Amino acid sequence: MIEVQHLTKQYGRVTAVDDVTFRVDKGEILGFLGPNGAGKTTTMRILTGYMPATAGKAVISGFDIFDQPLEAKRRIGYLPETPPLYPDMTVRDYLLFVGRIRGVASKALRAQVDTAMEKARVADVATRFCGKLSKGYKQRVGLAQAILHNPEVLILDEPTAGLDPKQIMETRDLIKGLAGSHTIILSTHILPEVSQTCERVVIINKGKVVAIDTPEALTERIQGNQTIFVQVDAPTGVDVAGALGGVPGVSRVTPVDQRGTLTSFEIDCHKGEDRRREVARLVVSSDWGLVELRPSRLSLEEIFLQLTTDEAKSAAPDAAA
């Protein structure tokens, strides 16, 4: 559905996007993750035909965005970083205008504007001027504008920026609801958003793709060993760490926190070995209190930091040389 091959964009001598390749299948939600200035917005702007790439190509629903821009653009709904609203137009007039330039048939126009307003929950501000809306409403009118012509492909640049937590949840649900019938790329720097909404993640840093995978697979890939988090209530003076280290299959025990008699540990096991049962048995048979025991997974946040800082480390010698 979306095919991106060796996409490169240079601004003068600065390379904003460097040989980016990925594809998104029909009905899929792809998360585009990266720190600010990683090239997310530039990539999206190239995909939507706002600017041409220096090299490489992008194909939307079979139409090359550079060779057949009108055909490709007809199939894209795009929410830029700042919602592109005209402050002196009312929400309804604005959406009618967007529908017209996107080629919505005039008979269907009003109905489609109403549907989009309902889906994006902006029907209550239909007669208000765009310039007078709160940030959250502006963002949602921007979303209404993107889904108005029922495009096959949705490209959303930080769709939840500026929304309050309730609106963020609603917007995520809306986006999930749109998947299936639409193919979606969304960018964000809020990590939980990706694990909650997206089926696959592209992590991009300094213009380069660092990783492409499902959020789960990424977690597993980074984390070679199985890690257990355990919190134990033991009398002071007892060597809990030593006892835990004695459990077979445990490679390392790291104390993380201590509050009174409560002590927390991260326990690394050998690859592929889950030692939760043995750990629980040890704690209970030693007559300590087992307060908490859970598999500790690296959050996407940590993966992200790991990937992007590794990249920084390996890039540094190049820069020096």
Which residues would be at the binding site for other proteins (CB under 8 A)? 9, 11, 42, 45, 48-52, 69-71, 73-74, 76, 78, 80-82, 84-89, 93, 97-98, 100-103, 145
Q: Which is nearer to other proteins, 134 or 258 (CB)?
A: 134
Cβ proximity to other proteins: between 11 and 301 the closer is 11
Q: Which is nearer to other proteins, 48 or 308 (CB)?
A: 48
Output the smallest distance, CB 100 to other proteins, in A: 4
Minimum CB separation of residue 12 from other proteins in Å reads 9
CB of 221 to other proteins, least distance (A): 34
Q: Smallest distance from the beta carbon of 5 to other proteins, in angstroms?
A: 20
| 159, 139 Cβ separation under 8 angstroms | yes
Nearer to other proteins, 80 or 136 (CB): 80
Beta carbon nearer to other proteins, 86 or 258: 86
Contact predicate 92/126, CB 8 Å = yes
Is 1 or 191 the residue whose CB approaches other proteins more closely?
1
Q: Among residues 204, 215, 213, which one has the least CA distance to residue 19? A: 204
For the chain, the 3-state helix, strand and coil shares in percent, each to the nearest 5, are 40, 30, 30
The two structure tokens encoding residue 277 = 């049962």
- Residue 192 CB partners (closer than 8 Å, separation 6+): 300, 301
Q: How far apart are CA 139 and CA 154, in angstroms?
A: 15
Rounded CA-CA distance 91/127 in Å is 6
Q: Min. distance of Cβ 219 from other proteins in angstroms?
A: 34
Residues 6+ apart with CB under 8 A from 149: 74, 77, 99, 102, 103, 104, 112
Q: 19, exposed or middle or buried, with CB in 10 Å at 0-12, 13-18, 19+? A: middle
CA distance 233 to 37: 46
Helix 165-178 / helix 135-147 crossing angle, nearest 10 deg: 0
Q: Which is nearer to other proteins, 153 or 279 (CB)?
A: 153
Shortest Cβ distance from residue 248 to other proteins (Å)?
Answer: 59
Phi-psi map region of 157: left, alpha, beta (phi>0 left; psi -120 to 50 alpha): beta
> Burial code of 241-269, b = ≥16 C-beta within 10 A, e = fewer?
eebbeebeebeebeeeeeeeeebbbebbb
- Nearest-approach distance from CB 120 to other proteins, in angstroms: 16
Between 80 and 207, name the residue whose CB sits nearer to other proteins: 80
By beta-carbon proximity to other proteins, the closer residue of 81 and 233 is 81
Report in angstroms how near the CB of residue 1 gets to other proteins at its nearest: 18
Q: How far is the CB of 280 from other proteins (least distance, A)?
A: 56
122 in Cβ contact with 75 (< 8 Å): no
